[in-house]
Structure 1
Amino acid sequence: MSADGLWSIGELAEHAGVTVKTVRFYSDRGLLPEAARSAGGHRRYGPEAIDRLRLIRSLRTLDLPVGDIDRVLGEEDTLDDVIAGQLRQLGSQLAALRWRQAALRLVRDCTAEERADRLRLVGAITAPPDTTALARFWRRVLPLRLPARQVSWILDAAVPQPPADPTPAQVLAFARLHALVTMPCPPGDDWRPPPPERDTEYRATVLYDGLGEAYELAAPALTTGRAPHEGEALDCFVSAYAHAHGVRDTPEFRRTLRSRLDAAAHPVMDHYWQLAGDLAEPHTPTLGAAQEWLHTALTAQTAS
């Protein structure tokens, strides 16, 4: 240290345990302010520079970008905000790596005959995968002019979220689900449910409000594995359809409803719910499982 209490760039580097090149880099980026310049134009640093340099090194050890460090030191952002942003970014990167790892295992652990198909399926999704195509599928399936609140809860419940740490089987299920919803729709095959028998009294909003309540009532039985049965959930389910059509809930209506539901079965939707079930959390019933449980309960009740 010179008589004026300032360090040369070499002295600062030696005290901080870094190279002169490192000190010069941070100085050039404005992270390490100079206290003065010598008569010969050489950089001079005050004693506080060593604390600043050590802080910069610590932040770089956490792999924080230089731009983020600049904002922290300039008090444009707090360190907590920068760390939170880095944690979010790191979480996304880790999720992508887990999906890539599971996808690689999926392709590795299969027969030669299966490999080409699995490569095609996993090659069509990102890692981690995007659910936009699934949401688009449901917007095409749902009745027109449903209120935004209903579309929102249906999408939340019907679109499975990709697991953060998937198994190879879950990667395959999601890839197949993505392939299912993005396949071309055959001409004339519209999955959007029309008003049954052109019923002018049909109100889709009333139906979906009632179905949401019925699914919630059926959820405990589905979670515990209880067989479909009569009760409040089934009554709410039937009532939703009756009110949507402006009719009374009678034994005859229940038999008619069972026939309508039988006729409305669609292999694409059945496959969708099977794959969605493979992605769901354990003991978490899907909307498809709830619909099937209630349909089965109605069938049993109206069988005699």
Structure 2
Amino acid sequence: MSTPHEVRWSIGELAERAGVTVKTVRFYSDQGLLPETSRSTGGHRRYGPQALERLRLIRSLRTLDLALPEIRRVLEDEDAAGRILEDVVADRLRRLGGELSALRWREAALQLVRECPPAERADRLHLLGALNTPPSTAPLARFWRAWLPPRMPAQATSAFLQAAVPQPPDEPCPAQALAFAQLHAMTTAPCPGGRQPQPDVHRVAGARGAAVLYAGLTEAYELAGPHLRRARDPFPGEALDAYVTAYASAYGSRDTRDFRRLLAARLTADPRLDRYWELTAVVLTPPGGRPEPTPGSADDWLRAALQRDIAESA
């Protein structure tokens, strides 16, 4: 209830003081967001200083791109306004981050098309057009799930996928965007013979043995990582010992000279997987940075170390 001495402004006066249009004041009033002090004898709205403060707050929230329902939540619960505003702002920041990432991926794609030779432009457009922005890692995860042995324990599968599936960078350079598009195309292409071929080690070790194998390989790859970063030539050592032990455990065998020779004969390169790891290295390497070790590059290094070890022991 207003008093005779309370300041009261017309809708036009409030709009002028707030620096907005009369239409804006009327809109927020109709939405129930601006408190009216009273009505004139002619039924016209009258507002007090509280409405001016509320209108300025609404404008501030709108500059943060908050939607009307979000603004209403902040205004209607004064006791929890701080917490609500914090939650709303955090949510908007997450959404804005996704929008910015999508724009950066589109920018990288446009640069790739612009720099592409005219004869290759149609193929590149097709390649990039199949990719969401920002891209999803789901096709890559499906590729590896089909490659891993059936009924492999979920924890082991999850750990492997975390190491094998590269996360798309938020600010990709054109080379990274192209590499990820090529990864997407490769992992969504039909498998030879209609089914993803399983490596021999999966058939020999089985699902449980494969879980033991990949846990051991993860340790071996981590041990090999520092040597790859220093660009050291492959050599026998702790990393190779962990690598051979992983296979020996999966096969139910022991790390012996005979086993190492047998293992070296069984381990063969897979051109499709080699290409996957080459592209993954590009995705993970920022412009001007050194390529980060991948499971593929670590495996190549360890296989070369195994060959060197066998040659030196002959």
CA drift at 1:202: 7.6
Q: 2:91 aligns with which of 60, 85, 91?
A: 85
- Specify the alignment match of 1:273 in structure 2: 277
In 2: Cα distance, 1:33 partner to 1:142 partner: 63
In 2: Cα distance, 1:91 partner to 1:199 partner: 44
Could you tell which deviates more after superposition, 120-129 or 29-38?
A: 29-38
- Specify the alignment match of 2:116 in structure 1: 110
Could you tell which deviates more after superposition, 181-190 or 269-278?
A: 181-190
Q: Which amino acid aligns with 2:103?
A: L
Is it true that 1:53 corresponds to 2:55 in the alignment? Answer: yes
Pairs within 5 Å for 1:36-47? 36-47=38-49
Q: Which amino acid aligns with 2:164?
A: A
Identity %: 58
Is it true that 1:293 corresponds to 2:295 in the alignment? Answer: no
Q: CA RMSD in A?
A: 2.1
Is it true that 1:35 corresponds to 2:37 in the alignment? Answer: yes
- Specify the alignment match of 1:68 in structure 2: 70
Counterpart contact for 2:29–2:35, Cα < 8 Å: yes
1:285–1:11 Cα change, 3 Å: same
Q: Which amino acid aligns with 2:150?
A: L
In 2: Cα distance, 1:199 partner to 1:123 partner: 40
Q: Which amino acid aligns with 1:107?
A: V
In 2: Cα distance, 1:25 partner to 1:195 partner: 69
Counterpart contact for 1:143–1:193, Cα < 8 Å: no
1:199–1:96 Cα change, 3 Å: closer
CA drift at 1:151: 1.1
Q: Structure 1, residues 224-264: CA drift from partner, whole Å, max 9, x if none?
A: 111111001100100111111111211111011011102xx
CA drift at 1:38: 2.7
- Specify the alignment match of 1:261 in structure 2: 267
Counterpart contact for 2:152–2:207, Cα < 8 Å: no
Q: 1:13 aligns with which of 15, 22, 31?
A: 15
Is it true that 1:168 corresponds to 2:170 in the alignment? Answer: no
In 2: Cα distance, 1:17 partner to 1:2 partner: 26
Counterpart contact for 2:149–2:206, Cα < 8 Å: no
Counterpart contact for 2:204–2:251, Cα < 8 Å: no
CA drift at 1:3: 5.0
Q: 1:284 aligns with which of 292, 297, 310?
A: 292
Could you tell which deviates more after superposition, 293-302 or 183-192?
A: 183-192
- TM-score, normalised to structure 2, is 0.90
1:9–1:214 Cα change, 3 Å: same
Counterpart contact for 1:228–1:293, Cα < 8 Å: yes
- Specify the alignment match of 1:158 in structure 2: 164
In 2: Cα distance, 1:98 partner to 1:186 partner: 34
Is it true that 1:219 corresponds to 2:219 in the alignment? Answer: no
Counterpart contact for 1:238–1:249, Cα < 8 Å: yes
Consecutive unaligned residues in structure 2, runs of 5 or more:
none
1:22–1:251 Cα change, 3 Å: same
1:120–1:197 Cα change, 3 Å: closer
Counterpart contact for 2:11–2:46, Cα < 8 Å: yes
1:88–1:197 Cα change, 3 Å: closer
Q: Which amino acid aligns with 2:46?
A: R
Q: Which amino acid aligns with 2:131?
A: I
SS at match of 2:172: coil
In 2: Cα distance, 1:192 partner to 1:200 partner: 11
Counterpart contact for 1:146–1:204, Cα < 8 Å: yes
In 1: Cα distance, 2:73 partner to 2:207 partner: 61
